[in-house]
Amino acid sequence: MSAMSPQEIVEQALAASTADGQVVYVTDSSEANLRWASNSLTTNGAMRSRQVVVVSFVDGGSGTAVGTVARTGTPDVAELVRASEQAARDAGPAEDAMPLLTEAPPGAGDWDAPAATTSIDVFRDFAPALGEAFGEARSRDQLLFGFAEHQMATTWLGTSTGLRLRHDQPTGRVELNGKSTDFGRSVWAGVGTRDFTDVSVADLAADVAQKMAWSARRVELPAGRYETLLPPSTVSDLMIVAYWAMEARDADEGRSVYARAGGGNRIGERLATLPLTLRSDPHAPGLETSPFQVVGGSSGSASVFDNGMATPAVDWISDGVLTNLVRPRAWAQQQGAPATAALDNLVLEDPTATASTAEMVARTERGLLLTTLWYIREVDPQTLLVTGLTRDGVFLVENGEVTGAVNNFRFNESPVDLLGRATEASRSERTLPREWNDWFTRAAMPMLRVPDFNMSSVSPAS
């Protein structure tokens, strides 16, 4: 990468500080990716980068001010420290000021080890297997589209209060989209992975082939409310929307779906009829994520003063009841409530669920089985009403069996409302969010049955 190691950059920045406090972090990242369309490669890449971020804290008469400067590449560390200190001196006192943390959270990695890396070699077996799948698709007169990506990011965080924390984060995803040659039928399979050793192109291709077979019979249905089976990927995309809205301050200020009429927030209120738990856990198997916070800029849901704060497992919803919201330390202190940090994974689970997704389909008399959701956007923050589309497979289930593929729909629904209306959940499984996987890949979700899902209008798209 460059002559200086990330650990040396952290120490050099801290040594150069003339401010009252400093947080510095270095992230070394590497990535490889392949993209394909119509049974052939379209783009690819192998990238490496380094980001250095310095946050300086300057005490003044009326409080502590903050300045953040980030640079990629091989920046002059002394210049970076000077720039962040100047930015802090130019800023007024920060509203979220708290003493920097001194206690190391559990679970950080080996500070001295070199960066974890990936390269295009991660696809040595995957690329030829995909080439074979292209051949098989071609022989069935079908087309494959999709994307595979593997990233490694190692972050070293140091603070003037003595913290030295390191985390290695692998992230991987594969999406496989099958279509008929006229694009009239379209289906999808996807997985998240840490290292691609658990990715089977054959399994993904078989999933796509089965859904293509289900699509042989086409059924036109009008807009309306339908009993709908939401598979894990669709539930993850909806629950991520609910999760991203979980800022305590917005709720406490009365401007969120989690605000209570009459003032205050809805913690303690039942949201789900089923005994569902929505939680984040840095040690969730296969979904491991950073056990401490790294924050470059403050917002209502994170504070630069909280850098290095432990991010232990947290229940957002427990047994159907809203239990926690995301709360930086300063807001927590003001409200007399616990500080809670957002994590980079999300698990929804019904501990009483026993059925697999296939068993839930089998016990459906008549309903729609979705595959993924797309273009989800907030319509009304008051209710968290979102709109979006069904994508790549709406299947009609009759007497426990898939009997055909239905046109797509635009839906209008609130994920919080859906929790209240879901009547059955399957066992949870790891899944890849379709809509949000550019930002969020670590999720485990059940299938949910909703008796009256609002399909607002028909979409002619396929």
Partner 1 sequence: MAGKRSVDESFLALPLSALADAALTRAVDLGCEHADLRVERIRTQTVRLRDARLEALADGEDLGLAVRVVHEGTWGFAAGVVLTAAEAVRLAEEAIAVAQVSAAMNTDRVELAPEPVHADGEWVSAYEVDPFAVPDAEKTALLTELSEQLLAADGVEHVSTSVMQVKEQKFYADTAGTRTRQQRVRVHPEFTASTVDRATGTFESMRTLAPPVGRGWEFLTGEGWDWRGELAQLPELLREKVKAPSVEAGRYDVVVDPSNLWLTIHESIGHATELDRALGYEAAYAGTSFATVDKLGSLQYGSPLMNVTGDRTAEHGLSTVGWDDEGVAGQQWDLISDGVLVGYQVDRNMARLRGMDRSNGCSFADSAAHVPVQRMANVSLQPAPDGPSTEELIGGVERGIYVVGDNSWSIDMQRYNFQFTAQRFYKIEGGQLAGQLRDVAYQATTTDFWGSMTAVGGPQTYVLGGAFNCGKAQPGQVAPVSHGCPSALFENTTILNTKQEGGR
Q: Which of 127, 267, 321, 337 binds partner 1 (CB under 8 A)?
A: 127
Does 75 sit near partner 1 (CB under 8 A)? yes
Percent of residues in the chain assigned helix, strand, coil, to nearest 5: 20, 40, 40
Which residue of 34, 137, 191, 199 would you call a contact of partner 1, by CB under 8 A?
Answer: 34
Residue 391 in the binding site for partner 1 (CB under 8 A): yes
User: How near is the Cβ of 391 to partner 1 at its closest, in Å?
Assistant: 6
The span from the CA of 172 to the CA of 227, in Å, is 33
Total residues belonging to the chain: 462
Give the Cα separation of 323 and 253 in Å (integer). 18
224 part of the interface to partner 1, by CB under 8 A: no
Candidates 6-14, 269-277, 307-315, 380-388 — which segment interacts with partner 1 by CB under 8 A?
380-388
For partner 1, the binding residue among 77, 81, 101, 149 (CB under 8 A) is 149
134 in contact with partner 1 (CB under 8 A): yes
Q: How is residue 169 written in tokens? A: 């984060």
454 close to 368: Cβ distance less than 8 angstroms: no
| Interatomic CA distance for residues 276 and 321, integer angstroms | 8
In the window 306-345, what residues touch partner 1 (CB under 8 A)?
none
Does the footprint of partner 1 cover residue 202 (CB under 8 A)? no
Pick one of 31, 85, 237, 350: the residue that binds partner 1 (CB under 8 A): 31
Q: Confirm or reject binding of residue 68 to partner 1 (CB under 8 A).
A: yes
Pick 255 or 283: Cβ nearer partner 1: 255
Q: How many CB atoms lie within 10 A of CB 289?
A: 17
* Residue ranges in 271-300 that form contacts with partner 1 under rule CB under 8 A: 296-300
Give the Å distances, CA to CA, from 298 to 83, 128, 343: 18, 45, 16
How far, CA to CA in Å, does 215 sit from each of 9, 94, 188, 211, 268?
A: 56, 57, 12, 6, 44
Regarding 130 and contact with partner 1 (CB under 8 A), the answer is yes
Distance (Å, rounded) from C-alpha 279 to C-alpha 276?
10
Which residues within the stretch 170-189 sit at the binding site for partner 1 (CB under 8 A)?
Answer: 175-177, 179, 183, 186, 188
- Measured from the CB atom, is 203 or 401 closer to partner 1? 203
Q: How far is Cα 267 from Cα 85, in angstroms, rounded to an integer?
A: 39
The distance of closest approach from Cβ of residue 125 to partner 1 in the complex, given in angstroms and rounded to an integer, is 11
Alpha-carbon distance of 428 to 349, in angstroms, equals 6
Give, in order, the Cα–Cα distances in Å from 236 to each of 249, 322, 349, 445.
24, 18, 11, 6
Stretch that binds partner 1, among 44-52, 214-222, 227-235, 395-403 (CB under 8 A): 44-52
Query: Binding to partner 1 by residue 82, rule CB under 8 A?
Result: no
Interface with partner 1: number of residues (CB under 8 A): 108
Structure tokens that stand for 375 in this block: 């273009």
For residue 30, give both structure tokens. Answer: 């590497």
Within 409-438, the residues that bind partner 1 by CB under 8 A are 410, 412-414, 417, 438
Element (H, E) at 358: helix 357-362
- Closest approach of partner 1 to the CB of residue 356, in Å: 27
Cβ neighbours of residue 8 under 8 Å, at least 6 residues apart? none
Is there binding between residue 375 and partner 1 (CB under 8 A)?
Answer: yes
Q: Which residues fall within 8 angstroms of residue 334, CB to CB, at 6 or more apart?
A: none
Q: Of 18, 60, 74, 76, which one interacts with partner 1 (CB under 8 A)?
A: 74
Structure tokens that stand for 298 in this block: 């403050």
Q: What DSSP string runs through 79-107?
A: HHHHHHHHHHHHS---TT--PPP-SPPTT
**Binder of partner 1 out of 102, 200, 334, 383 (CB under 8 A):** 383
72 touches partner 1 by CB under 8 A: yes
Q: Does 261 help bind partner 1 (rule: CB under 8 A)? A: yes
Could you say whether residue 259 binds partner 1 (CB under 8 A)? yes
Binding status of residue 356 toward partner 1 by CB under 8 A:
no
Check binding of 4 to partner 1 (CB under 8 A).
no
Q: Among residues 14, 23, 77, 83, which is the contact residue for partner 1, using CB under 8 A?
A: 83
- Contact between 117 and partner 1 by CB under 8 A: the answer reads no
CA distance 418 to 278: 14
Contact residue for partner 1 among 263, 285, 365, 399 (CB under 8 A): 263
Stretch that binds partner 1, among 103-111, 230-238, 247-255, 361-369 (CB under 8 A): 247-255
Stretch that binds partner 1, among 87-95, 152-160, 285-293, 398-406 (CB under 8 A): 87-95
Pick from 92, 99, 224, 451 the residue near partner 1 by CB under 8 A.
Answer: 92
